[in-house]
Amino acid sequence: MDETELKRFFGRELLDWYRRGNRDLPWRRSRDPYYIWVSEIMLQQTRVETVIPYFNRFVERFPTVRALAEAPEEDVLKLWEGLGYYSRARNLQAAAREVAERYDGRVPNDVEAVRGLKGVGPYTAGAILSIAFGRPEPAVDGNVMRVLSRYFCLDEDIARPATRTGMEKLARELIPEGAAGDFNQALMELGALVCTPRSPHCLTCPVMAHCEGRIAGREEELPVKSKAKPPKPQHRLAVLAVRADGRVLVRRRPAQGLLARLWELPHVEAPSESVWDSPEAGPSWLAETLVLEEGVRVRPNRHLGDAEHVFTHLHWYVRVWGASGASLEAPAQRDLAAAGEAAAASASAEGQEAALPFAVREAAFPWGEAGEDNYRWIDRAEFEALAWPNVFRKILAAHFESS
DNA sequence: CAGACGTGGGG
DNA sequence: TCCCCAAGTCT
C-alpha cells in the first residue's frame, strides 16, 4: 500500500468508525456556529467531562452572540469560574462583540475572519470552520498530533510549535471529500477514547491494520514529547481580615495576567520560605507589604491554615493569617505599624463602613487606584456572587461555613 | 521560540 | 503520592 492509499484508507476507516457511533455531547446536538465556537474555546486544554456542565450553563445564560456581547463581564467570568484560563472568557466576549458589530451577530464563514477573532488560533479556527461550515480545514490539537505520530510513526517532538505546522499539512491531506467536520471530530474522538496517551487500545482501533507505529511496536513510546518545566514555587502570605459585622476584606485582581479580574484575599509574596514560615516575620512582612504597596492596613495575628495551589507554571504555598480590628496587637507587630495607628484604628472601628486607609497614595497600586472599588468588605451572599480562583474560593467557603 | 496562562482527573 | 496531561492561544 503506497502513501496515497494509506492516507485515503485512514480517512475512510476513521470516518466510518465515527459515524457508526460517537459520544452524545451537548454541542453536537446543534449546528449553531456560536455553540460550536463556545464549546471549542471551553475545550482548549480542558477535558470534555469538565466542559459539559459549564457549556450548558453558559449557552443557557448567553444563548446568542448578542446575548454574550451585551452581558456584563462579571457575569461571564462567574460562569467561567473554576474552568481556568480565564483570558479565554474575556477573549470570547471581546470576539462576540466584534462578531455582533462587524458580522451582524453571525459567526463569519470565512477562514481569515474566523482566524482573526480573539482567542481563536489555528486549532479552533479549523474546528469551527470544519464542524460548523463544512470547510476542509485541519483542526490539529494534542489528540490529533498523538494519533498522527503513531499512525505514521513520526518522531517529531509534539511540544515544539513547528511540529504542529507539519501536522496540519498532513491532516489537511487526510480529510475525506465533503466530510471535514466529522473527520476532524473522529480524529479527536479516536485520540480521546482509543488512541490514548498511555496504554492505547489498539485492539479495538479502527485503523490498527495499517498503523505504522503499532506495526513497529512503538505505540507506547510515541508521540515524542519533551517535558515541561516544573512549576516555580512561590510562598505567599494572605490575610483573612474580618470586620466586627462579619464582613471579610477582599480585592479584585488586575485586568491583565494571572487570574485577571477574579477576586481574592489580599496577599503578598514572601521574600523567602523562612520568612513565610516564621510566626513572627511572616505576619510582619504581610502587614508591612500590604501597607507599602497597597495602602491597606491590617494586623495579622492568627495562623488560620495553609493552602496549596498548582498552576502550570507556578506552585503557590499560601499561608492564611487571620486579622480583626479588635484584636490585640501582638509584640511582633509593634514595630511595623508605627506609621498608621490612627488609620488602622479608624478602619477597624466597630460596624463602621469600609473607609480603607489608603495611606500611600503616591505609590503604584498594582491592584488599581485607591477608590476604584477594587477592595470590598463582603458578606456570604456577595462571596457567592463574585468569581474566585479555586484556591481562594475554598478558603473563603471554609470561613463562611464555620462563621 | 519560550514562557505565561488553571484546574481536575487518571494511572 | 506524584506526575502527566486535556479539543491551545497570546506575547
> Is A40 assigned a catalytic role?
yes
- Beta strands A314-324 and A232-242, pairing class: parallel
**pLDDT, tens only, A230-247:** 999 999 999 999 999 999
Nucleotides of B under 7 A from a protein CB: 1-9, 11
Contact A169, A191 (CB under 8 A): no
> A320: which strand partners?
A238, A305
**C-alpha–C-alpha distance, residues A386 and A371, integer Å:** 19
Please tell me which residue lies nearest to nucleotide B11, judged from CA to C1'.
A198
Using 50, 70 and 90 to split pLDDT, how confident is the model at A118?
Answer: very high
Place of cell 480542558: A46
Query: Which residues does A43 contact at the CB level (< 8 Å), separation at least 6?
Result: A51
Range among A1-10, A292-301, A307-316 rated most confident: A307-316
Are the folds of A3-215 and A232-402 the same? no
Looking at 3.10.180.10, 3.90.79.10, 2.60.40.10, 3.50.50.60, the CATH number of the domain A232-402 comes to 3.90.79.10
Q: Looking at residue A372, what is its pLDDT? A: 52
| A283, A300 contact by CB (below 8 A) | yes
Q: Where are the domains of chain A?
A: 3-215, 232-402
Please give the Cα distance from A215 to A202 (Å, whole number).
11
Average pLDDT of the segment spanning A325-344: 33
What is the H or E stretch that residue A188 is in? helix A180-193
CA of A221 to C1' of C10 (A): 31
Band the pLDDT of A363: cuts 50, 70, 90: very low
d(CA A145, CA A9): 18
In Å, what is the separation between the CA of A140 and the C1' of B1?
A: 19
pLDDT in tens, A24-59: 999 999 999 999 999 999 999 999 999 999 999 999
Catalytic residue among A40, A81, A137, A189: A40
The CATH class given to the A3-215 domain equals mainly alpha
